Structure 1
Amino acid sequence: MESRLFEAARCGDISAFHSLLEEDPFLLDRVALNSVYNPLHVSALAGQVEITKEIVSRKPAFTRELNENGFSPIHVASANGHIEIIRELMRVGYDICLLKGKDGKVPLHCAAIKGRVDVVKELVWACPESLKQVTACGETALHLTVKSNQIEAARVLIEEIRRLQMMEILNWKDTEGNTVLHHSTFNRQHEIIGLLIGGEALACGVNVNTVNTSGFTPKDVLDLLLQNGSDFYHHDIHIYQMFQQAGAVKGREITTDPAYVRTQTENPNRQIAQSACSWNLWKELMREVAESSTDTQNALMVVAVLIATVTYQAVLSPPSGFWEADKRKSQTVTTVQKRTMNPGEAVMASDPEIFAVFIVFNAIGFFASLAMISLLTSGFPLRAGLRLAILSMTATYVIAVIYMGPTKMREVYIVVILMGLLFLAESIRFTVWLLKKWGIVGDTRSRLR
């Protein structure tokens, strides 16, 4: 009967699957005890979506089981590019994206090796933390794409690493001390080297002079390839030029050549630029968030939303209230010049100094809470829509402050126009994002130049 179950999973025969369960309601439980494989491995391999749904709904524990080769169903589906299967499997929890299989590989590693670009995007969006997972040999997903010569998948990973502000991954070493730049140089992958250190690089802060356990920098690797009598390609000239422009040197020059040390001290502007590029406050904050537990992140989100709500409400209902229409003729305020208070303006605005202090501290709390929300939701799906919502709420906050405060109409118009331009720009970004999701507009960044 177990063989018939596996055959039904392979063919996607739901009727046969139901018949087998009617004959033996404990069939799936017995398979879990008696076989290394489970039917979910088979349906994931065959790309049978409907029967995968049935099996997951009845036996979700199957999604976390490894077969005799050390792979779970999501590993199998990722390697074979079955993105719908992956989405069904992730319904049991995004944590299965971090499930370690043979050689310490997570599903993203399997997709990266095979160059499954759509799967790579899906897994990174579902679980950005998978970008930081390494194999038993210390290899990230980017290492594996480069070693497997999957150029397009490598481009996508670099774009996602940049989007998520995880640039430090680009300098991570495997157990032999090799970075992505070492491997791409050894494979003479000028496209990837260009993405890392070229004139139109997507990456930032890549260390071109990292030394591996053999004492070789990427430039040493290139020189060895050229000196060992291997064929010379015109791309090698381009790679050599990129290394020169990036300041690449040989391993022995880093510690023994005084000219190298002198060059570093005589070019402070370049060092400052590289430092500014690699050191990023937003990245450091995101790293702090990533290192915290899920419970801590949830608590921070609750606090941030509460602060945003309270500070926003304080603007809508200031402590002193608002001037009413029937008092309009009798109230005047002396600031720089004497003027009449208008209905809708805050009573507190009659004392500009107190009003300014109140608005400043309120705005600090409001914008700081929005920044916390942005940090905590980084990498979430529908990120473009969330940005648009936050910007819209910010615009209404600013307009409310201007309307209730002692501000001249000309200043109101200037601020409203500026907020309108920001809102329009974010609306365009959101529309483009939607069009890309719907497949109406292609992602030009993903094309090789």
Structure 2
Amino acid sequence: MDRRLYEAALTGNVVQLQQLLLEDQLILNAVSLSSSGENPLHVASMARHLNFVTEMIRLKPEFAEELNQYGLSPLHIASANGDSDMVRELLKIGSHVCCLQGSERRIPLHYAAMKGRLDVIRELVLACPESAGEGTVQGETALHLALKNNQLEGFGVLVEMLKKVKKDSFLNKKDELGNTILHLAASRKQRQVAELLLTGDGVIEVNSKNCRGLTPLDVLQMFPSEAGDREIADLLRNAGASRGQDVVVSDPSPSSNNIQQTILEQSSPSNVESWIEYFKFSRGRDSPSEARNSLLMIAILLATATYQAVMSPPGGNWQDDAPPYHIAGQSIFATKYKTTFWMFVFLNSTGFYMSLYMINTLTVNFPMQLELQYCIVAITGNYSYAIGLNAIAPYGVFGYILILVTSFFSIGLHLTVKKVKQILSSRRARTSRRDI
């Protein structure tokens, strides 16, 4: 974009814009050649210059339908900013701009809901009621996003507007995990939202199941707390809510009875396998950063537990010297049950070394990585020295040999598992190619 045109849009100088057009009538046409995708209407919308936006819409209305490098149209920007006057001006182009999909398939109403822009929500829903049913790439409607961003007032306005434009069926829309807004309200213990949804004309499907076969009442009771659970449960039950295993789906087709029964059994929250599946890591649901943080915490707990097991071995340590049977500081367990203790040290050391390897892997590219590796090497040496000197001393040099063998075993175990995974992966790939 021409620098002078950008400055005119940034300052909202309509006179300068007209002067530029007198000098070069094609200056606005040249904007389309910009690699950033940003046009003067984006800049003026961001800077909230209504007069400039009005003039630009008159000259180039198609600019309102363009997305910038961030996947935002001028209406996306005005909606996020809560500029209702600007939104009304942009809507004069046509209601179709309400459904322009930007980054992650978000439309202007999604940004207004996420930010709680009440006036903008009203304008957008009135202009295009269907936009309230549009979902993001995760299937989230404006209602889902308002709840997830704790915009309860904005959520209330959305519900009010949907009833006003006769689109209250959108209240039962599901995201990609099958969760309705009532599922979200139950999981977040939002009594105010539950009351809003459940008091009225009974439009809400209180027994709708998500992809895990859980109803809102199931979700509420999954993670019990003192914060209004009973009140929300009473609201749900008074509205006819049931647990997942109690919901019977009627189907006049006899051929589908067995299939439905199987689905109900598999999706029932009382089924142990259903709960296990629910808590498994899911790539679409759980972010890699959350998985890494969880793994790092687990690795730290394992390292702490295995290290402490050596510092305080089973049975304790001898407190006195009684040569040649034992000396103070040696493990009582080691001197009395040598073979069993060897196995204990071997397995404990394998867990310790593997947990340190996990910590080192999960912290790659962290700040102060070198210092962290020094600490890992130091604590590894301290662990090995403690076993050799304190616990395995009755066996002489064997203690250090055992530590060395355990170290190589841990490395070999990791490499073996990695190689097996590669082999299985390559076999699956070959099988897929043959099927194709």
TM-score class normalised by the smaller sequence: 0.5 to 0.7
Q: Per the alignment, in what secondary structure is the counterpart of residue 230 of structure 2?
A: helix
- 1:22 maps to amino acid: L
Going from structure 1 to structure 2, the CA distance change for 1:154 and 1:25 (only over 3 Å counts) comes to same
Partner secondary structure for residue 92 of structure 1:
coil
Deviation, 1:203, is 5.3
Q: Give the equivalent residue in structure 2 for 1:137.
A: 138
Preserved CA contact (<8 Å) 2:113 2:143: yes
Contact 2:99 2:108 in 1 (8 A): yes
Q: Distance in 2 between matches of 1:203 and 1:64?
A: 38
Does the 8 Å CA contact 1:182/1:218 hold for their aligned counterparts? yes
CA distance in 2, matches of 1:191, 1:203: 17
Offset at 1:159?
Answer: 1.3
Aligned position for 2:238: 245
The alignment-based identity, stated in percent, is 42
Partner of 1:37: 38
**Paired residues of 2:126 and 2:165 also in contact (CA < 8 A):** no
Tell me the secondary structure at the aligned position of residue 246 of structure 2: helix
In structure 2, the partner of 1:254 is 247
SS in 2 for 1:122: helix
Bigger shift: 96-105 or 67-76?
96-105
Give the deviation of 1:85 after TM superposition.
Answer: 1.1
For residue 144 of structure 1, give the secondary structure of its aligned residue in structure 2. Answer: helix
Is 1:212 aligned to 2:210, yes or no? yes
Task: Tell me the distance in 2 between the aligned counterparts of 1:195 and 1:157.
Answer: 11
For residues 68 and 140 of structure 2, the distance between their equivalents in structure 1, rounded to whole angstroms, comes to 23
| 1:258-305 Cα shifts (integer Å, max 9, x gaps) | xxxxxxxxxxxxxxxxxxxxxxxxxxxxxxxxxxxxxxxxxxxxxxxx
2-structure distance, mates of 1:112, 1:153: 6
1:48 Cα offset (Å): 0.8
Q: Distance in 1 between matches of 2:89 and 2:210?
A: 41
Q: How does 1:369-448 map to 2 (within 5 A)?
A: none
Q: TM (normalized to structure 1)?
A: 0.53
Deviations 1:354-401 (A, max 9, x none): xxxxxxxxxxxxxxxxxxxxxxxxxxxxxxxxxxxxxxxxxxxxxxxx
Task: Give secondary structure in 2 for the equivalent of 1:27.
Answer: coil
Match of 2:159 in 1: 158
Q: CA deviation at 1:134?
A: 2.0
1:28 is matched with which residue? 28
Q: Distance in 2 between matches of 1:51 and 1:40?
A: 8
Q: Are 1:16 and 2:46 counterparts?
A: no
Contact 2:125 2:161 (8 Å CA) reproduced: yes
Aligned to 2:105: 104
CA distance in 2, matches of 1:107, 1:150: 16
Is the alpha carbon distance of 1:109 and 1:224 closer, same or farther for their aligned partners in structure 2, counting shifts above 3 Å? Answer: same
Q: Is the 8 A contact 2:46 2:77 kept in 1?
A: yes
**Distance (whole Å) between structure 2 residues aligned to residue 203 and residue 128 of structure 1:** 20
**What does 1:350-369 align with in structure 2 at a 5 Å threshold?**
none
Quote how far apart the aligned CAs of 1:252 are: 2.1
Q: Indicate conservation of the 8 Å contact 1:158/1:202, yes or no.
A: no
What's the counterpart of residue 173 of structure 2?
172
Distance between the aligned counterparts of 1:211 and 1:153, measured in 2? 26
Q: 2:390 — aligned with what?
A: none
Deviates most, 113-122 or 154-163: 154-163
Q: Equivalent of 2:222, from 216, 221, 224?
A: 224
Per-residue deviation, 1:202: 4.2
| DSSP-derived class of the 2:63 partner | helix
Equivalent residue letter for 1:38: N
Q: Is the 8 A contact 1:97 1:127 kept in 2?
A: yes
Counterpart Cα distance in 2 of 1:7 and 1:204: 54
Matches within 5 A, 1:55-134: 55-134=56-135
User: 1:237 and 1:250 mapped to 2: Cα distance?
Assistant: 15
How many residues align structurally?
248
Report how far residue 110 of structure 1 moved.
1.5
Structure 1 residues 99 and 75: alpha-carbon distance in aligned structure 2, compared to 1, 3 A threshold = same
Q: Distance in 1 between matches of 2:83 and 2:2?
A: 24
Q: TM-score, normalised by structure 2?
A: 0.54
Give yes or no for the alignment of 1:6 onto 2:6. yes
CA offsets 1:90-121 (integer angstroms, 9 cap, x no match): 12112211222222222111211111110000
Superposition deviation, residue 237 in structure 1: 3.0
- How many Å apart are 1:7 and its aligned residue? 2.3
Q: How much has 1:195 moved relative to structure 2? A: 0.7
Deviations 1:114-142 (A, max 9, x none): 11110000111111221222222222221
Conserved in 1, the CA contact under 8 Å of 2:129 and 2:167? no
Q: Deviations over 1:385-438 (max 9, x none)?
A: xxxxxxxxxxxxxxxxxxxxxxxxxxxxxxxxxxxxxxxxxxxxxxxxxxxxxx
Q: Distance in 2 between matches of 1:127 and 1:173?
A: 20
Structure-2 separation of matches of 1:161 and 1:34: 39
Uncovered stretches (5+) of structure 2, i.e. residues with no partner: 250-436
Give 5+ residue unaligned stretches, structure 1. 257-449
Deviations 1:302-349 (A, max 9, x none): xxxxxxxxxxxxxxxxxxxxxxxxxxxxxxxxxxxxxxxxxxxxxxxx
Q: Which of the two has higher C-alpha Rg?
A: 2
* Secondary structure class of the residue paired with 2:247: helix
> In structure 2, how many angstroms separate the alpha carbons of the residues matched to 1:150 and 1:5?
37
Superposed CA deviations along residues 165-209 of structure 1, whole A, max 9, x for unmatched, are 223211121111000101111222211110111xxx245321111
Is the 2:105–2:137 Cα contact (8 Å) retained in structure 1? Answer: yes
Contact 1:196–1:203 (Cα < 8 Å) also in 2: no
Q: Give the Cα–Cα distance (whole angstroms) in 2 for the partners of residues 185 and 7 of structure 1.
A: 50
The one-letter amino acid of 1:210's match is S
The separation in 1 between residues aligned to 2:201 and 2:161, in whole angstroms, is 10
Matches of 1:213 and 1:47, distance apart in 2: 43
In structure 1, distance between residues paired with 2:189 and 2:170: 21
Distance in 2 (CA, whole Å) between partners of 1:232 and 1:4 is 61
- How far residue 50 of structure 1 moved from its aligned partner, in angstroms, is 0.4
- Distance in 2, matches of 1:212 and 1:54, equals 48
Pairwise CA RMSD: 1.8
